[in-house]
Amino acid sequence: MSDALWTAESNQNYYPPQILRYDPAPKGKTLPDGRKAVSMTFPVLQLTDWVAQPDKVADEIARRLNATEGQSKAALDVLLERRRQVQDEKFSPDHDDRYQHGELERAAASYALYKCQPQGPLWWFSAVWAWPMKWFKSKSHRENLVRAAALLIAAIECIDRAEARSAKEGGAA
């Protein structure tokens, strides 16, 4: 038997979970190596569907929570931008938590104020922007404001996680 997790031979017998439904393992069945058989059909199928369609899952969660009802286009765009930052740019909570000196807030300020300046040098920009200039990607004024708001959400989430960790450890944030 091969040590490979996925081989060409096993690929020939692969059917997408939505097509092939497996019967549950017989109750009390013992495997040749002595372990008890447990049916993982539903959890595996559900997980496979979730991993394959993250946007569909996010939309379904939002629908179930009625999170989008009554929200303005601006609010929805900010939430979508935050999701884009996490999923596409890979700015995970762990990544964001590394910023301890107001970098997210300063980036938000940079995006929010960038189009507000009259033509001319932005003397304040280098003092506020926390990262290399190549990371700054200005777009329209509205899109910059959406990015700024999403960055502020990221900063607030960092504060919330720090407070939760502190409470769990029994101290103050």
Please provide the average confidence, as pLDDT, over all residues in the chain. Answer: 76
**What percent of the chain has pLDDT above 70?**
59
- Please give the residue range of the domain that contains residue 79: 72-169
Structural domains in the chain (count): 1
Tokens read off for 51: 């991993």
Residue 117 — very low, low, confident or very high, per pLDDT cuts 50/70/90? confident
4 lies in some domain: no
Report in angstroms the alpha-carbon separations of 70 from 58, 67, 73, 78, 82. Answer: 18, 8, 10, 15, 19
Q: Does 15 have pLDDT greater than 50?
A: no
Query: Of 147, 123, 124, whose CA–CA distance to 135 is shortest?
Result: 147
| pLDDT surpasses 90 at 99 | yes
C-alpha span between 39 and 52 (Å, rounded): 21
Residue 37, CA atoms < 13 Å, CB-side half-sphere: 12
pLDDT in tens, 124-159: 888 899 889 899 999 999 999 999 999 999 999 999
Band (pLDDT 50/70/90 cuts) for residue 5 is very low
pLDDT at 121 over 90: no
pLDDT at 118 over 50: yes
Q: Is the pLDDT reported for residue 87 higher than 80?
A: yes
The string over 129-154, giving b where at least 16 C-beta atoms fall within 10 Å of a residue's C-beta and e elsewhere, is bbeeeeeeeeeeeeebbbbbbbbbbb
Would you state the structure tokens that stand for residue 130, as one six-digit string? 């926390």
Residue 45's pLDDT is what? 56
Strands (E), 19-95: none
- What type of residue sits at position 93? P
Taking each helix axis from N to C end, the angle separating 41-52 and 54-65, rounded to the nearest 10 degrees, works out to 100
> What is the rounded distance in angstroms from the CA atom of residue 92 to the CA atom of residue 63?
24
Asked, for residue 35, whether it belongs to a domain, the answer is no
Quick one: 157 exposed, middle or buried, by C-beta within 10 A (0-12, 13-18, 19+)?
A: middle
